[in-house]
Amino acid sequence: MTDEPNKPKTQSEILDKIRKLLRLADTSRGATENEAKVALSKAQELMTRHNIDSALLRMERGESGGGSFTVDKGNLDLPKTLNPADLMILSLLQSHFNVKTILMSGGRGTAVDIIGAPADIDFAIYAFNYLRQTFFRCWNEFKRTRTNPDKASYYRGLRDGLNAELKAAKDRTEQSYGDDQRQAYGLVVVDQTAAITRFVEEHYGRLRSRTTRARRVDSGSYFAGETKGRTIQINRPLPE
């Protein structure tokens, strides 16, 4: 089998390709919603493969994941009063984008520190901005169709629906690798998680968990959001 002429081969080429796709996914630069979705989908697929291939390469060299894993810090600046969508999206970043998010108190707004590998931080920030726009747009469309819809319930449904799609797409990508490769990658992920945890403990100390009040969930708004969330599919497989 021959290599595809435009397929990135080295790690630096892959990361450069991901950065270009992320720029294409920036709707503030004039990208349409469909163009942004396609670009971000491909970037997510490449990022997953990059993380797996990088981990396997370190394993082949006899390097531990934690010892050679560079941890850095990025930042998001959000309003002082968070929108219900913000916390939902931040939870998705921690579950699927290989980063730890930390809400910082004080100041005129809400600063969010994002801890992880530099490439993962870049991708998480772009994904957050894209999903925030998407959540707001979906809610504005939905509320015009219902009487007394509940925003928090709808956003929770969006989060849960998208979470299921992200997990399924990641599983599909990982299943394209052999059993030995997946097992090796799993060991490296444990080391990477430990490296992020050490960074957080060294720079932030003991973190306090954010508590949220239990509230009634409007089933109609929730299930409408969950159904819509399953259609976002920002990382669906794309043909080469």
CB neighbour list of residue 86: distance below 8 Å, 6 or more residues apart: 78, 132
Tell me: pLDDT of 137 over 80: yes
Residue range(s) defining the domain that contains residue 184: 11-232
Does the residue 23 lie in any domain? yes
Phi and psi of 186, rounded to 5°? -60, -40
Does the residue 195 lie in any domain? yes
pLDDT score, position 65 = 47
Q: How confident is the model at residue 210 (pLDDT cuts 50, 70, 90)?
A: low
Q: Which tens digit of pLDDT belongs to each residue from 116-136?
A: 988 788 888 888 988 898 899
pLDDT score, position 62 = 61
CB neighbour list of residue 208: distance below 8 Å, 6 or more residues apart: none
Tokens of 48: 């997953």
Separation between Cα atoms, residue 3 and residue 79, nearest integer Å: 47
Separation between Cα atoms, residue 56 and residue 150, nearest integer Å: 45
Tell me: pLDDT of 168 over 50: yes
Domain tally, the chain: 1
110-116: strand order across its sheet = 72-78, 110-116, 100-104
pLDDT score, position 108 = 83
Does the residue 188 lie in any domain? yes
Tell me: pLDDT of 240 over 70: no
pLDDT score, position 208 = 72
Does the residue 238 lie in any domain? no
Tell me: pLDDT of 182 over 50: yes
Does the residue 142 lie in any domain? yes
pLDDT score, position 234 = 57
Return the H-helix or E-strand segment holding 198. helix 179-204
Separation between Cα atoms, residue 162 and residue 158, nearest integer Å: 6
pLDDT score, position 68 = 58
Q: Which tens digit of pLDDT belongs to each residue from 104-121?
A: 877 788 999 999 988 788
Q: Are 221 and 146 in contact (CB under 8 A)?
A: yes
Question: Per residue in 117-141, is it b (16+ CB within 10 Å) or e — as a string?
Answer: bebbbbbbbbbbbbbbebbeebbee
Mean pLDDT, the chain, whole residue set: 79
Phi and psi of 75, rounded to 5°? -150, 140
What three-state secondary structure class fits 74? Answer: strand
Lowest mean pLDDT: which of 73-77, 186-190, 201-205?
Answer: 186-190
Does the residue 108 lie in any domain? yes
CB neighbour list of residue 113: distance below 8 Å, 6 or more residues apart: 73, 74, 75, 101, 102, 104
Does the residue 3 lie in any domain? no
Q: How confident is the model at residue 235 (pLDDT cuts 50, 70, 90)?
A: very low
Does the residue 91 lie in any domain? yes
pLDDT score, position 213 = 63
Lowest mean pLDDT: which of 1-5, 9-13, 52-56, 175-179?
Answer: 1-5
